[in-house]
Amino acid sequence: MKSQDQAKWDELMARWQEIYDLDGVSALLNWDQSTYMPSGGGAVRARQSALIGRLAHERRTDPAIGRLLDELDAAGVGREAESVEAAMLRQLRRSYEHSTRIPAAFAAEFVEHLSNSYSVWAEARPRNDFAAVRPYLHKTLAMSRQLAEFFPGHAHPADPLIDEVDQGMTVAKIQPLFEALRRALAVWVAALAQKPAVDSHFLQRHYPKAQQQAFGEQVATAFGYDFTRGRQDETHHPFMTKFGPGDARITTRFYENDLVNALFSTMHETGHALYEMGIDEAYASSVLDTGTSAGVHESQSRLWENLVGRSRPFWEHSYPALQAVFPEQLADVDLDSFYRAINRVQPSLIRVDADEVTYNLHVIVRFGLELDLLEGKLSVEELPEAWHARYQENLGVHASDDRDGVMQDVHWFSGPIGGSFQGYTLGNIMASQFYAAAVAAQPQIEAEIAQGSFGTLHGWLRENLYRHGARYTPDELLLRVTGSELTIQPYLAYLQRKYSQLYGTLPALP
Amino acid sequence: MKSQDQAKWDELMARWQEIYDLDGVSALLNWDQSTYMPSGGGAVRARQSALIGRLAHERRTDPAIGRLLDELDAAGVGREAESVEAAMLRQLRRSYEHSTRIPAAFAAEFVEHLSNSYSVWAEARPRNDFAAVRPYLHKTLAMSRQLAEFFPGHAHPADPLIDEVDQGMTVAKIQPLFEALRRALAVWVAALAQKPAVDSHFLQRHYPKAQQQAFGEQVATAFGYDFTRGRQDETHHPFMTKFGPGDARITTRFYENDLVNALFSTMHETGHALYEMGIDEAYASSVLDTGTSAGVHESQSRLWENLVGRSRPFWEHSYPALQAVFPEQLADVDLDSFYRAINRVQPSLIRVDADEVTYNLHVIVRFGLELDLLEGKLSVEELPEAWHARYQENLGVHASDDRDGVMQDVHWFSGPIGGSFQGYTLGNIMASQFYAAAVAAQPQIEAEIAQGSFGTLHGWLRENLYRHGARYTPDELLLRVTGSELTIQPYLAYLQRKYSQLYGTLPALP
Nearest CA-CA distance, residue A267 and chain B, Å: 19
Q: Which residues of B are catalytic?
A: 269
Q: Is A29 on the interface with B (CB under 8 A)?
A: yes
Distance CA B151, CA B97 (A): 10
Inter-chain residue contact B244 with A43, CB threshold 8 Å: yes
* C-alpha angle B110-B115-B120 in degrees, rounded to nearest 5: 125
Name the H helices within B331-407: 335-342, 359-375, 383-395
For B:279-308, CB contacts with A below 8 A are 285
Q: For residue B275, what are the contacts with CB-CB under 8 A and spacing of at least 6?
A: B291, B296, B297, B300, B465, B466
Residue type, B166: D
| Closest Cβ opposite residue B247 in set A40, A227, A243 | A40
What is the pLDDT at residue B137? Answer: 98
- Which of B33, B48, B251 is best to mutate for the A interface (most A CBs within 10 A)? B48
* pLDDT at residue number A30: 92
Q: How much is the ipTM here?
A: 0.94
Q: Find chain A residues with C-beta within 8 A of B29's C-beta.
A: 25, 28
Q: Which residue out of B20, B23, B28, B33 would a mutagenesis test of the A interface target, given it has the greatest number of A Cβ atoms within 10 Å?
A: B28
pLDDT band at B1; cut points 50, 70, 90 = confident
In this prediction, residue A108 carries a pLDDT of 86
Interface of B with A in 243-282 (CB under 8 A): 243-247, 249
Residue B142 pLDDT grade (very low, low, confident, very high; cuts 50, 70, 90): very high
Q: Is A234 on the interface with B (CB under 8 A)?
A: no
- Percent residues over pLDDT 70 in chain A: 100
CA–CA min distance A246, chain B (Å): 4
- What pLDDT shows up at residue B215? 98
B395 touches A: beta carbon within 8 Å: no
- Determine contact, residues B40/A246, Cβ cutoff 8 Å: yes
- Interatomic CA distance for residues B374 and B386, integer angstroms: 14
In this prediction, residue A182 carries a pLDDT of: 97
User: Beta strands of B211-274 (E only): which ranges?
Assistant: 232-234, 240-244, 247-252
Task: With beta carbons less than 8 A apart as the criterion, state whether B156 and B374 touch.
Answer: yes
Among partner residues B17, B37, B228, which is closest to A39 by beta-carbon distance? B228
Put simply, the answer to whether B246 touches A38 (Cβ < 8 Å) is yes
Can you give the pLDDT at residue A206?
98
Each residue of A439-495: pLDDT tens digit? 999 999 999 999 999 999 999 999 999 999 999 999 999 999 999 999 999 999 999
What's the confidence (pLDDT) of residue B62?
98
Query: What is the per-residue pLDDT for A111?
Result: 86
- Per domain, the residue ranges of chain B are 3-101
**Residue B106 CA to its chain's centroid (Å):** 26
Average pLDDT for A403-421: 96
CATH topology of domain A201-349+424-503: Neurolysin; domain 3 (1.10.1370)
pLDDT higher than threshold 90 for residue B509: no
Comparing CA positions, the residue from A60, A61, A72 lying closest to residue A20 is: A60
Average pLDDT value for residue range B264-277: 98
Neighbour-count burial for B162-171, b at 16+ CB within 10 Å, e otherwise: bbbbbbebbb
For residues A115 and A109, what is the distance between their CA atoms, to the nearest angstrom? 10
Between A119 and B198, residue with greater pLDDT: B198
Tell me: pLDDT of B264 over 80.
yes
Q: Scanning every residue of chain B, which has its alpha carbon at the shortest distance from the alpha carbon of A39?
A: B228
Look at residue B119 in the predicted model and tell me its pLDDT.
Answer: 86
Average pLDDT, chain A: 96
Terminal C-alpha separation, chain A: 58
Distance (Å, whole) CA B69 – CA B12: 8
3-state helix, strand, coil in chain B (%, to 5): 65, 5, 30
Cα(A5)–Cα(A18) distance, rounded to whole angstroms? 20
Cα–Cα distance for residue pair B79/A333, rounded to 1 Å: 80
Per-residue model confidence as pLDDT tens digits over B281-319:
999 999 999 999 999 999 999 999 999 999 999 999 999
Q: Which ranges constitute the DSSP H helices of B150-253?
A: 158-165, 171-193, 209-223
Min Cα distance A160 → chain B (Å) is 32
C-alpha A429/C-alpha A493 separation (Å) is: 11
Q: Is the pLDDT of residue B236 over 90?
A: no
What's the pLDDT score for residue A466? 98
Distance CA B124, CA B223 (A): 39
Query: CA A117, CA A137: separation in Å to the nearest integer?
Result: 8
Which amino acid is present at A86? A
Whole-angstrom distance, CA of residue B462 vs CA of residue B438 = 11
Measured distance CA(A243)–CA(A292) in Å, rounded: 17
**What average pLDDT does this structure show over B158-175?**
97
pLDDT of residue B383: 98
> How would DSSP label each residue in A234-293?
E-SS--EEEEETTEEEEEE---TT-SSHHHHHHHHHHHHHHHHHTS-GGGTTSTTSS-S-
Q: Is pLDDT above 90 for B108? A: no
pLDDT digits (tens, 9 = 90+) for B39-89: 999 889 989 999 999 999 999 999 999 999 999 999 999 999 899 999 999
Nearest beta carbon to residue B44 from set A24, A45, A249: A24
pLDDT band of B111, cuts 50, 70, 90 = confident
> Is residue B134 a contact partner of residue B104, using CB atoms and an 8 Å limit?
no
Contact B36 A233 (CB under 8 A): yes
Q: How confident is the model at residue A236 (pLDDT cuts 50, 70, 90)?
A: confident
Asked if residues B217 and B231 have their Cβ atoms less than 8 Å apart, the reply is no
Distance of alpha carbon A250 from alpha carbon A241, whole angstroms = 7
- Residue B207 makes CB contacts below 8 A (sequence gap 6+) with B256, B257, B258, B259, B326, B329
Nearby residues of B434 by Cβ (< 8 Å), 6 or more positions away: B299, B300, B303, B461, B465, B481, B482
3-state secondary structure B13-78: HHHHHHHHHHHHHHHHHHHHHHHCCCHHHHHHHHHHHHHHHHHHHHHHCCHHHHHHHHHHHHCCCC
The answer to whether residues B295 and B166 touch, using CB atoms and an 8 Å cutoff, is: yes
Report the amino acid identity of residue B55. Answer: L
- Pick from B21, B38, B230: CB nearest A231: B38
What is the per-residue pLDDT across A270-313, written as a single tens digit (0 to 9) for each?
A: 999 999 999 999 999 999 999 999 999 999 999 999 999 999 99
For the stretch A148-191, pLDDT in tens is: 999 999 999 999 999 999 999 999 999 999 999 999 999 999 99
A429 to chain B, closest Cα gap in Å: 33
DSSP A471-503: SS-HHHHHHHHHSS-S-SHHHHHHHHHHHHHHH
CA separation for the pair A469, A291 (Å, rounded): 5
Taking an 8 Å cut-off on Cβ atoms, the answer to whether A246 and B21 are in contact is: no
Burial class (CB in 10 A: 0-12, 13-18, 19+), B257: exposed
CB A69 within 8 A of CB A9: no
Model confidence at A115, pLDDT cuts 50, 70, 90, reads confident
Cβ-based neighbour number of residue A323 at 10 Å: 17
Q: If we measure between CA atoms, which residue out of B284, B299, B294, B253 comes closest to residue B24? A: B284
Mean pLDDT of B251-259: 97
* CB B299 within 8 Å of CB B252: no
- Cα A25 to Cα A48, B44, B123, B201, B230: the distances in Å are 10, 10, 27, 46, 21
Task: Note whether A39 contacts B: Cβ–Cβ < 8 A.
Answer: yes
Count Cβ atoms below 10 Å from residue B64 Cβ, excluding itself: 11
Which phi and psi angles does A325 have, rounded to 5°? -75, -35
Nearest CB to A55 within list B55, B230, B244: B55
- How far apart are alpha carbons B273 and B250 in whole angstroms? 7
Average pLDDT, chain B: 96
